[in-house]
């Protein structure tokens, strides 16, 4: 069988890469991050012109009708550019939730607006993964109460998809009475993350959901975060190799030293298999549903560990320069760190993978 991207997916990757090179250079990333916005309106608009707002929206609702593997191609490119744009929640998880569990009325109301970019969603799935102290959302009589932490793509969101403690998904209007929206600071200044405090907030249960949709959304999110890390890791390796070929010490470029060669080679050797792993995890989500949850766990946990190794080693190759803002290497470093922890760090995700295979209990 053929194992690789289709010609159409390669064209999509190339188109996104070209767009990001033009609209999202590192200087622009730095400007957005230092301005405290976490979202670049210019890059969001450019991506929308490619139709990526509707990448997961079916054609009947005005979208592209593509699958998770196609969205993964975009996520990898965004990670490589450390693009400050809402994508995982707004363009993938929210429309996917509506596709999988929304009633026809909910789909007709929201999906066309997601596709044309006029409806902006944030997604909160913390309760499905690992409940934190001070967090927790309960549902009663059509309302939600509690606190939803680490809501992704929360900045400027018009509406939210929120999971309660039982895994049921709910639609919440961004300006609902009793809803308090707070930004959360994380190490990654290119990502919009927030906390929602809910006090009897009116919520609409996501129609035909038996509680399993939230787990599917977590799996999709994990695959995309893993792909984002692969893209970021690729760039960190490339920058380390370039630096090693230019920086001289003792009259020689440091790339000629055996120790530095080994560091660069080991980074590449560890990261490259991750690409196949995340590709298959996305393929399983689209075409082999029985394997989807487990493969997402494998992709997220393994790539999280490899990404951390690459981020650390690439920084070490740069020596003291690697820690400076001048090179900007820290943007990719922090992106990988954020990807590693969101929707479950390797320890939590491995425990879940073990439970899925009947080997232990899922982490609480």
Judgement on whether residues 101 and 58 belong to the same structural domain of the protein: yes
Indicate whether 295 belongs to any domain.
Answer: yes
pLDDT of residue 247: 84
d(CA 364, CA 352): 10
pLDDT at 133: 67
Reference 237, options 307, 177, 284, 190; nearest CA is 307
CB 166 within 8 A of CB 125: no
Give pLDDT tens digits along the chain (364 positions).
466 788 999 999 999 999 999 999 999 999 999 988 889 999 999 999 999 999 999 999 999 999 999 999 999 999 999 999 999 999 999 999 999 999 999 999 999 999 999 999 999 998 888 766 666 899 898 999 999 999 999 988 999 999 998 889 999 999 999 999 999 989 999 999 999 999 999 999 997 666 689 999 999 999 999 999 999 999 999 999 999 988 878 888 877 788 999 999 999 999 999 999 999 999 999 999 999 999 999 999 999 999 999 999 999 999 888 888 888 999 999 999 999 999 999 999 999 999 999 886 655 5
The pLDDT value given to residue 127 = 80
Q: Please list, in sequence order, all residues whose beta carbon lies within 8 angstroms of the beta carbon of residue 313, skipping any fewer than 6 positions away.
A: 240, 263, 266, 267
pTM: 0.94
| Inter-residue contact 263 to 313 (CB < 8 Å) | yes
Co-location of 86 and 138 in the same domain? no
Which domain covers residue 182, as residue numbers? 121-205
Could you tell me if 227 and 186 lie in one domain? no
By three-state DSSP, how is residue 2 classified? coil
What is the CATH classification number for the domain harbouring 41?
1.10.540.10
Same domain, 268 and 329: yes
Enter the tokens of residue 51: 């139709």
Shared domain for 79 and 94, answered yes or no, is yes
Position 134 scores a pLDDT of 63
Q: Is the domain of 327 the same as that of 288?
A: yes
pLDDT at 207: 79
Residues 75 and 125 reside in one and the same domain: no
Q: What are the backbone dihedrals phi and psi of residue 107, each rounded to the nearest 5 degrees, phi first?
A: -65, -45
Domain boundary among 51, 82, 115: 115
pLDDT of residue 125: 92
- Please report, in angstroms and rounded to a whole number, the separation of the first and last CA atoms in the chain: 40
Does 326 share its domain with 231? yes
Q: Are residues 260 and 342 in the same domain?
A: yes
Q: What is the pLDDT of residue 2?
A: 60
362 inside domain: no
- 152 and 265 share a domain? no
CATH number, position 178: 2.40.110.10
Q: Are residues 104 and 132 in the same domain?
A: no
Same domain, 158 and 242: no
SS3 track for 155-198 = CCCCEEEEECCCCCEEEEECCCCCEEEEECCCCCCCCCEEEEEE
State which of 178, 205, 232 marks the end of a domain: 205
């Amino acid at each position: 069988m053929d194992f690789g991207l289709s010609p159409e997916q390669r064209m999509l990757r190339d188109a996104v890469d070209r767009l990001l090179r033009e609209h999202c250079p590192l200087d622009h990333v730095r400007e957005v991050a230092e301005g405290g916005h976490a979202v670049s309106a210019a890059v969001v608009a450019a991506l929308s012109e490619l139709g990526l707002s509707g990448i997961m929206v079916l054609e009947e609702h005005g979208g592209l009708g593509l699958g998770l593997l196609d969205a993964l191609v975009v996520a990898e490119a965004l990670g490589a550019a450390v693009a400050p744009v809402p994508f995982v929640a707004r363009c993938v998880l929210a429309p996917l939730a509506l596709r999988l569990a929304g009633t026809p009325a909910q789909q007709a109301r929201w999906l066309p607006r997601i596709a044309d970019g006029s409806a902006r969603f944030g997604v909160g799935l913390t309760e499905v993964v690992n409940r934190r102290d001070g967090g927790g959302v309960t549902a009663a009589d059509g309302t939600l109460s509690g606190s939803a932490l680490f809501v992704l793509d929360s900045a400027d969101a018009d509406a939210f998809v929120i999971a309660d403690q039982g895994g049921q998904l709910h639609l919440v209007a961004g300006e609902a009475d009793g809803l308090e929206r707070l930004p959360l600071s994380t190490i990654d200044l290119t990502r919009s993350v927030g906390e929602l405090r809910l006090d009897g907030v009116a919520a609409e249960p996501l129609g035909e959901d038996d509680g399993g949709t939230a787990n599917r959304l977590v799996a999709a999110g994990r695959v995309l975060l893993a792909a984002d890390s692969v893209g970021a890791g690729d760039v960190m390796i490339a920058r380390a190799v370039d630096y090693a070929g230019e920086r001289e010490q003792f009259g020689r470029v440091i790339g000629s030293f055996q120790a530095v060669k080994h560091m660069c080679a080991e980074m590449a050797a560890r990261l490259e298999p991750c690409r196949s792993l995340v590709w298959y995890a996305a393929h399983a989500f689209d075409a082999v549903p029985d394997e989807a949850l487990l493969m997402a766990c494998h992709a997220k946990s393994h790539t999280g560990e490899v990404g951390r190794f690459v981020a650390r080693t690439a920084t070490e190759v740069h020596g003291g320069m690697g820690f400076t803002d001048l090179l900007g290497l820290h943007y990719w470093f922090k992106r990988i760190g954020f990807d590693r922890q969101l929707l479950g760090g390797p320890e939590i995700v491995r425990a879940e993978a073990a439970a899925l295979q009947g080997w232990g209990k899922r982490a609480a």
